Amino acid sequence: MKAIVYYEAGSLNALQFIETDKPAPAGDEVLVKIHSASLNPLDSHMLLGMPQLLRKLIARKSPKMKVPGVDLAGVVEAVGSSGCGVQSR
């Protein structure tokens, strides 16, 4: 799969377009095939490192590889083992 990622805050030049393995959803997660995505002010603030206090609080819980974007549209491809309350049609 393709992804836009960044490994450290700083500037828009930190964004990288990479090819990576498709993740498998954990027990309480879903895998979504994204058709469209956007960046919102939270994403740009985190990427640019503003505000620093907020970034430090959130970054403490974030994975090392960051994929910006929380606004998306797509189709659920897989559901984790716990089912997540999702019912198939």
Distances (CA, A) of 32 to 12, 41, 44, 49, 77: 25, 22, 22, 27, 6
Name the pTM for this structure: 0.64
> Domain residues of the chain, as ranges?
2-24+39-71
Q: Which of 37, 38, 47 is nearest to 15 (CA)?
A: 47
User: Would you put residue 83 in left (φ > 0), alpha (ψ -120 to 50) or beta?
Assistant: left
pLDDT of residue 29: 87
Name residue, tokens 């603030």.
45
Q: How confident is the model at residue 74 (pLDDT cuts 50, 70, 90)?
A: very high
Q: Render pLDDT for 27-63 as a digit per residue (tens, 0 to 9).
A: 888 899 999 988 888 777 777 766 666 656 665 545 4
- Do the Cβ atoms of 50 and 22 come closer than 8 Å? no
